[in-house]
Amino acid sequence: MSEPIVERRTRKRLQTRQAISDVATRLFFERGFDQVTIDEIAAAADVGRMTVFNHFPRKEDMFFDRDGEVRDLAFAAIRDRDAGTSPVQALRTLAYRLIEDPDPPFPLFCDTELFVETALASESLKARARQMRDDFVRALAITLAESADCRQDDPNAHLAANLIAATWTVAFLQAHQAFTHTKDAAAANRTFLALIDRGTAGVEAALADTPYV
């Protein structure tokens, strides 16, 4: 049976998007994000300039092209958690799972060293990362509130989301720094999980007597 036209078009579109992303990432890593132009990416991917923009409205989106998948992991961990597991603990469990069985969108830490270095070398990427973090915190707060049958503007949900995001940010960056200095992935993993545990304990203390813990 031949592949339906709609499915074939979708598959080809996803393949084109991935090809553009792969080429862009290679160029960013080789030369630095700010030194690569859209025209150079289009030429290297053998597509037109408008094709690039059809898939990625901004150049930064090509660098952070897997952000949505990472978000989905976090939100799914909350929504699909076991009965009796709090949303905060569900995210701690996710951290341990990502270390024990790394998920492709979120490899820790060997495969992210060049990614982090490239991001930190670009002011536009750092600015975009801050925007993405703010967007993620807002979406996380809504997911937390919905998981507890609370209003989306529940102040405790927003406090929890900000504290959780801060915990993960610090844990990841400190673990990345540890790996950069030692090239010891196991030590980086331990740093990451130790900070996740400490941060989770802080979130639970701050959110005591709320449905999020």
pLDDT tens for 69-123 read 889 999 999 999 999 999 999 999 999 998 888 765 555 666 678 888 999 999 9
Domain boundaries, the chain: 5-63, 67-206
5-63 has CATH 3.30.413.10 classification: no
Residue 20 pLDDT grade (very low, low, confident, very high; cuts 50, 70, 90): very high
What span, in angstroms and rounded, lies between the C-alpha atoms of 10 and 23?
A: 20
Q: Give me the mean pLDDT over the 180-195 stretch.
A: 91
What span, in angstroms and rounded, lies between the C-alpha atoms of 81 and 87?
A: 7
> pLDDT for 131-164, tens place per residue?
999 999 999 999 999 999 999 999 999 999 999 9
CA atoms within a 13 Å half-sphere pointing along the CA-CB vector of 21? 17
**For residue 116, which of 63, 163, 73 has the smallest C-alpha distance?**
63
**Axis crossing angle, helix 155-182 with helix 123-147, rounded to the nearest 10:** 130
18-56 residues labelled b (16+ CB within 10 A) or e (exposed): eebbebbbebbeeeebeebeeeebbebbebeeeebeebb
> What pLDDT does residue 204 have?
97
